[in-house]
Amino acid sequence: MKFLDEYRDPKLAQTLVADIRRHVTRPWVLMEICGGQTHTLMRYGIDNLLPPEVELVHGPGCPVCVTPLEMIDKAVEIASRPDVIFVSYGDMLRVPGSARDLFQVKAAGGDVRIAYSPMDAVDLARKNPDRKVVFFAVGFETTAPPNAMAVWQAKREGLTNFSLLVSHVLVPPAIRLLLEQPRNRVQGFIAPGHVCTVMGYSEYEELAERYHVPFVVGGFEPLDLLEAIRMLVAQLEEGRFEVENQYVRSVTRVGNEAARQRMFEVFEIADRKWRGIGEIGQSGYRLREEYADFMPSACSTSRPRAPRSRRSASRRWSCRACKNPWIALCSALGARPTTRWARRWYRARARARRTIATGVTTSSRPHCRRLNHGHRTQYGMSLAAHLHRSRAARPRLRRQT
């Protein structure tokens, strides 16, 4: 494809890698902020091409991952109402809440619909004047302008049945929080290209000057990221702390001024909670007072869900002999014997025990073989070997209350 294949040229990639190896003289820790950039790094194996002196640390990633639990629970409660059409991007449907997710609400009969644009939700509000249409507005600064445009258009048309559940987060406050941590190791940042397409990169100049770290606005193709890494390494080796723009085909210093004007007309900056981090001051958007009518009605109007008991709320599953990342994932997701996470763990443990006894992997499914043999624990051994090394060779799965 024209103007795409050129950014995936293997020969040019090798040239950039050789240039990075030629310039690097000491260890450097770099962070890519956007999840799209992380996907490209992993998909094309760029982290394996780089010299050992360059370490990549993955940043906040996608806003879906940092949407707080309280916001998911609020979305689930609103979507469960019979008079509501709840509209969301597809990647939000499986984000777990305290008890269930939006996909489960849809399976139970809730009117949850997937959209590719907030204007689809505005169109639904026009066609269904007797029902409330709520759009789940998540994202970094990238998706804020179209969401703001949807609210602006709904107000212009007088669509009183349209509302926006806002969970927008901002990149610079999260970077500032990271840089102020005493144990921070990150020495340079690949700034998110899509965010900077809207916002520009002038707001990163203050961070570079204050914290003495370089920024390079990077794109999302392999050559984009390799060139951004080369530019960061060059700055660090020369002792410079500036903001440079590699993604020149899309990003300017001031960004999209028309989009920003519409966005700030509808939204204002506010404190926002991040899942797994907590509240970060001035790190999100909320609707301005002039657009308060487009906030969804309070969830307290619905019948409140009975509070979970202390025992069930604090119940977690742990394995005495196998403290590995898979168990940590199960624990973080609140695995129960009736959930797919716990069932998968039970199956993997049984297969691992059979492998220990027979030396033969009984599963033909790749992800199960990976759990039995390829998955490495913190001790550098496979799950099956780690089970075998334990004192009883039969770890007991117990509940912590």
Residue 147 C-alpha from the chain's centroid: 19
Q: What is the reported pTM?
A: 0.74
pLDDT over threshold 80, residue 392 = no
Residues 37 and 135 in one domain: yes
**Single residue among 250, 271, 306 that ends a domain in this structure:** 306
User: Which is more confidently placed, 309 or 203?
Assistant: 203
Q: Say if residue 32 is in the same domain as residue 155.
A: yes
Sign of CA dihedral 56, 60, 63, 67: positive
Q: Are residues 284 and 378 in the same domain?
A: no
Pair 371, 354: CB distance under 8 Å: no
110 and 86 Cβ atoms separated by less than 8 Å:
yes
pLDDT digits (tens, 9 = 90+) for 262-271: 999 999 999 9
Same structural domain for residues 21 and 96? yes
CB of 30 closer than 8 Å to CB of 54: yes
- Highest mean pLDDT, choosing among 286-300, 308-322, 370-384: 286-300
| pLDDT for position 393 | 40
Residue 142 pLDDT: 95
Instruction: Please report, for the domain that includes residue 89, its CATH number.
Output: 3.40.50.11740
How far is 158 from 200, CA to CA, in rounded Å?
A: 33
| CA atoms of 133 and 111, how far apart (whole Å) | 10
**Structure-model confidence comparison of residues 349 and 116, the more confident one:** 116
Residue 392 burial by CB count (10 A; 0-12/13-18/19+): exposed, middle or buried? exposed
Do 361 and 216 belong together in one domain?
no
Looking at residues 159-171, what average pLDDT do you find? 96
The three-class DSSP label of residue 296 is coil
The per-residue pLDDT for 350 is 64
pLDDT of res. 306: 43
Is the Cβ–Cβ distance between 285 and 270 less than 8 Å? yes
User: Which domain-ending residue is among 306, 327, 359?
Assistant: 306
Residues 242 and 343 in one domain: no
How many domains is the chain partitioned into structurally?
2
pLDDT of residue 60: 81
Summarize pLDDT for 12-43 with one digit per residue, the tens. Answer: 999 999 999 999 999 999 999 998 999 999 99
Domain that holds residue 260: 1-306
212 in the same domain as 358: no
Q: Is the pLDDT of residue 253 over 50?
A: yes
189 and 73 belong to one structural domain: yes
With bands split at pLDDT 50, 70 and 90, how would you rate the model's confidence at 196?
very high
Is the pLDDT reported for residue 348 higher than 60?
yes
Report the mean per-residue pLDDT for the chain.
81
Query: Tell me, what's the pLDDT at 309?
Result: 40
Give me the mean pLDDT over the 62-85 stretch.
93
Look at residue 362 and give its three-state secondary structure: coil
Does one domain contain both 300 and 316?
no
Please check whether residues 381 and 234 belong to one and the same domain: no
Backbone angles phi, psi at 210, to 5 degrees: -75, -40
Q: State yes or no: pLDDT of 375 exceeds 90.
A: no
**pLDDT the model gives residue 396:** 44
Q: Which of 257, 278, 306 is the last residue of a domain?
A: 306
- 202 with 262, same domain? yes
Instruction: Summarize the confidence of residues 251-274 as an average pLDDT.
Output: 96
